[in-house]
Protein backbone atom coordinates (compact mmCIF):
# COMPACT_ATOMS: atom_id res chain seq x y z
CA UNK A 1 0.00 0.00 0.00
CA UNK A 2 3.07 2.22 -0.13
CA UNK A 3 1.46 5.63 0.04
CA UNK A 4 -0.98 4.87 2.85
CA UNK A 5 1.24 2.59 4.87
CA UNK A 6 1.62 3.47 8.57
CA UNK A 7 -0.24 6.74 8.12
CA UNK A 8 -3.46 5.66 9.89
CA UNK A 9 -4.40 3.64 12.95
CA UNK A 10 -4.99 -0.10 12.79
CA UNK A 11 -8.79 0.14 12.63
CA UNK A 12 -8.90 1.24 9.02
CA UNK A 13 -9.66 -1.22 6.25
CA UNK A 14 -8.93 -0.33 2.68
CA UNK A 15 -11.19 -1.93 0.08
CA UNK A 16 -12.56 -1.28 -3.37
CA UNK A 17 -15.84 0.66 -3.31
CA UNK A 18 -17.30 -1.88 -5.73
CA UNK A 19 -16.73 -4.69 -3.31
CA UNK A 20 -17.91 -2.65 -0.36
CA UNK A 21 -21.23 -1.96 -2.06
CA UNK A 22 -21.84 -5.59 -3.02
CA UNK A 23 -20.88 -6.64 0.51
CA UNK A 24 -23.44 -4.22 1.93
CA UNK A 25 -26.08 -5.49 -0.45
CA UNK A 26 -25.39 -9.12 0.21
CA UNK A 27 -25.69 -8.79 3.96
CA UNK A 28 -29.07 -7.09 3.88
CA UNK A 29 -31.22 -8.54 1.12
CA UNK A 30 -34.63 -7.59 2.46
CA UNK A 31 -37.27 -9.73 0.92
CA UNK A 32 -40.74 -8.81 -0.22
CA UNK A 33 -43.29 -10.30 2.14
CA UNK A 34 -45.88 -12.09 0.08
CA UNK A 35 -46.78 -15.68 -0.67
CA UNK A 36 -48.92 -17.21 -3.36
CA UNK A 37 -49.49 -20.70 -1.91
CA UNK A 38 -48.33 -23.27 0.63
CA UNK A 39 -44.60 -22.54 0.20
CA UNK A 40 -45.34 -19.29 1.99
CA UNK A 41 -45.89 -21.26 5.19
CA UNK A 42 -42.33 -22.55 4.98
CA UNK A 43 -41.12 -19.06 4.15
CA UNK A 44 -42.86 -17.76 7.27
CA UNK A 45 -41.29 -20.59 9.28
CA UNK A 46 -37.90 -19.60 7.90
CA UNK A 47 -38.46 -16.02 9.00
CA UNK A 48 -39.82 -17.02 12.41
CA UNK A 49 -37.78 -17.55 15.54
CA UNK A 50 -36.63 -21.16 15.06
CA UNK A 51 -34.82 -20.56 11.78
CA UNK A 52 -34.54 -16.81 12.16
CA UNK A 53 -33.63 -15.33 8.79
CA UNK A 54 -32.77 -12.07 10.51
CA UNK A 55 -29.47 -13.48 11.78
CA UNK A 56 -28.20 -13.39 8.18
CA UNK A 57 -29.62 -9.94 7.61
CA UNK A 58 -32.76 -10.97 5.79
CA UNK A 59 -36.01 -9.42 6.96
CA UNK A 60 -39.43 -9.18 5.35
CA UNK A 61 -40.66 -5.87 3.97
CA UNK A 62 -44.29 -5.30 3.16
CA UNK A 63 -43.76 -2.90 0.30
CA UNK A 64 -42.12 -3.66 -3.04
CA UNK A 65 -40.46 -0.24 -2.88
CA UNK A 66 -38.38 -1.26 0.13
CA UNK A 67 -37.59 -4.81 -0.94
CA UNK A 68 -34.48 -6.14 -2.68
CA UNK A 69 -35.42 -9.79 -3.03
CA UNK A 70 -38.67 -11.25 -4.25
CA UNK A 71 -39.22 -14.77 -2.93
CA UNK A 72 -41.92 -16.23 -5.16
CA UNK A 73 -43.31 -18.71 -2.63
CA UNK A 74 -45.92 -20.95 -4.21
CA UNK A 75 -48.06 -21.64 -7.24
CA UNK A 76 -48.38 -18.72 -9.59
CA UNK A 77 -51.61 -18.79 -11.57
CA UNK A 78 -52.06 -16.95 -14.85
CA UNK A 79 -54.18 -14.38 -13.07
CA UNK A 80 -51.48 -13.87 -10.44
CA UNK A 81 -48.65 -13.88 -13.00
CA UNK A 82 -49.58 -10.41 -14.24
CA UNK A 83 -49.67 -9.11 -10.69
CA UNK A 84 -46.35 -10.75 -9.79
CA UNK A 85 -44.83 -9.10 -12.83
CA UNK A 86 -46.27 -5.74 -11.82
CA UNK A 87 -44.92 -6.11 -8.29
CA UNK A 88 -41.50 -7.03 -9.65
CA UNK A 89 -41.54 -3.91 -11.80
CA UNK A 90 -42.41 -1.81 -8.76
CA UNK A 91 -39.30 -2.97 -6.88
CA UNK A 92 -36.34 -0.66 -6.99
CA UNK A 93 -33.05 -1.74 -8.54
CA UNK A 94 -31.02 -3.76 -7.54
CA UNK A 95 -33.53 -6.58 -7.32
CA UNK A 96 -33.25 -10.33 -7.18
CA UNK A 97 -35.74 -13.17 -7.47
CA UNK A 98 -35.81 -16.50 -5.68
CA UNK A 99 -38.20 -19.07 -7.13
CA UNK A 100 -39.21 -21.17 -4.16
CA UNK A 101 -40.67 -24.64 -4.63
CA UNK A 102 -41.65 -26.81 -7.58
CA UNK A 103 -44.57 -24.65 -8.67
CA UNK A 104 -42.59 -21.45 -8.96
CA UNK A 105 -39.73 -23.18 -10.78
CA UNK A 106 -41.70 -25.27 -13.29
CA UNK A 107 -45.40 -25.47 -12.50
CA UNK A 108 -44.77 -28.49 -10.29
CA UNK A 109 -47.76 -30.78 -9.84
CA UNK A 110 -49.73 -28.58 -12.24
CA UNK A 111 -47.30 -29.23 -15.07
CA UNK A 112 -49.51 -31.60 -17.00
CA UNK A 113 -53.10 -30.60 -16.31
CA UNK A 114 -53.13 -27.20 -14.65
CA UNK A 115 -54.61 -25.10 -17.41
CA UNK A 116 -54.48 -21.99 -15.26
CA UNK A 117 -50.98 -22.32 -13.77
CA UNK A 118 -47.90 -20.52 -14.98
CA UNK A 119 -45.27 -23.13 -15.86
CA UNK A 120 -42.45 -21.51 -13.95
CA UNK A 121 -42.17 -17.93 -12.81
CA UNK A 122 -39.12 -17.45 -15.07
CA UNK A 123 -41.56 -17.07 -17.98
CA UNK A 124 -42.49 -13.69 -16.51
CA UNK A 125 -39.57 -12.38 -14.46
CA UNK A 126 -35.83 -13.21 -14.39
CA UNK A 127 -34.95 -15.67 -11.63
CA UNK A 128 -31.60 -15.75 -9.81
CA UNK A 129 -31.95 -18.77 -7.54
CA UNK A 130 -34.22 -21.80 -7.81
CA UNK A 131 -35.06 -23.68 -4.61
CA UNK A 132 -36.49 -27.14 -5.34
CA UNK A 133 -38.91 -28.95 -3.04
CA UNK A 134 -42.63 -29.30 -2.55
CA UNK A 135 -42.54 -27.33 -0.36
CA UNK A 136 -38.83 -26.82 0.48
CA UNK A 137 -37.95 -26.94 4.13
CA UNK A 138 -36.80 -23.67 5.71
CA UNK A 139 -33.23 -25.02 5.63
CA UNK A 140 -33.49 -25.36 1.86
CA UNK A 141 -34.75 -21.81 1.52
CA UNK A 142 -31.93 -20.55 3.73
CA UNK A 143 -29.47 -22.48 1.54
CA UNK A 144 -30.96 -20.77 -1.50
CA UNK A 145 -30.70 -17.37 0.14
CA UNK A 146 -27.06 -18.01 1.08
CA UNK A 147 -26.41 -18.88 -2.56
CA UNK A 148 -28.07 -15.61 -3.50
CA UNK A 149 -25.86 -13.76 -1.05
CA UNK A 150 -22.79 -15.31 -2.70
CA UNK A 151 -24.11 -14.22 -6.06
CA UNK A 152 -24.65 -10.66 -4.86
CA UNK A 153 -21.18 -10.61 -3.31
CA UNK A 154 -19.63 -11.51 -6.65
CA UNK A 155 -21.51 -8.71 -8.40
CA UNK A 156 -19.72 -5.48 -9.24
CA UNK A 157 -22.38 -2.77 -9.15
CA UNK A 158 -20.10 0.06 -10.26
CA UNK A 159 -18.46 -1.75 -13.14
CA UNK A 160 -21.71 -3.22 -14.41
CA UNK A 161 -22.52 -2.19 -17.91
CA UNK A 162 -25.93 -0.60 -18.18
CA UNK A 163 -28.37 -1.58 -20.88
Partner 1 sequence: MSEDIQVLIDDVVAKALAGDMDPINNIEDRVTRSKAKAALVKAKRSQPETEIKSKASEVSENSDVKTKDTIEHIVIASLTKNFSNFLDGEQNGEWIQMKAENWFDIAKHLKENEDLYFDSLQCNTGFDLEGGMLESRYNLHSMKHLHAIEIRIKVSIENPNIPSVESLWRVADWFERETYDMFGINFTGHRDLRRILLPEDWEGWPLRKNYEEQETYHGIVVPKVKEGWE
Is there binding between residue 112 and partner 1 (CB under 8 A)?
Answer: yes
Cα(42)–Cα(49) distance, integer angstroms = 13
Region from 10-18, 19-27, 53-61, 119-127 binding partner 1, contact rule CB under 8 A: 119-127
Pick from 111, 100, 112, 22: nearest CA to 68: 22
Cα(59)–Cα(96) distance, integer angstroms = 14
Is there binding between residue 81 and partner 1 (CB under 8 A)?
Answer: yes
Would you say the C-alpha torsion 72, 76, 124, 143 has a positive or negative sign?
A: positive
Is there binding between residue 86 and partner 1 (CB under 8 A)?
Answer: no
Q: Exactly one of 123, 134, 153, 158 binds partner 1 (CB under 8 A); which one?
A: 123
In the bound complex, what is the minimum distance in angstroms from residue 65's beta carbon to partner 1?
24
Pick from 84, 66, 55: nearest CA to 30: 66
Region from 18-26, 30-38, 45-53, 116-124 binding partner 1, contact rule CB under 8 A: 116-124
Is there binding between residue 99 and partner 1 (CB under 8 A)?
Answer: no
Span 61-80, contacts to partner 1 by CB under 8 A: 78-79
Cis peptide before 135, with omega less than 30 degrees from 0?
A: yes
Is there binding between residue 124 and partner 1 (CB under 8 A)?
Answer: yes
10 Å Cβ neighbour count for 49? 7
Binding site residues, partner 1, CB under 8 A = 78-79, 81-82, 111-112, 115-116, 118-119, 123-124
Amino acid sequence: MGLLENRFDDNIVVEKLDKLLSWARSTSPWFFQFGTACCAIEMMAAAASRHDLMRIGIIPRSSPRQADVMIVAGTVTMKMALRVKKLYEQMADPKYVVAMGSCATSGGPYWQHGYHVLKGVDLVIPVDVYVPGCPPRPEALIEGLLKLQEQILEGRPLTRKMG
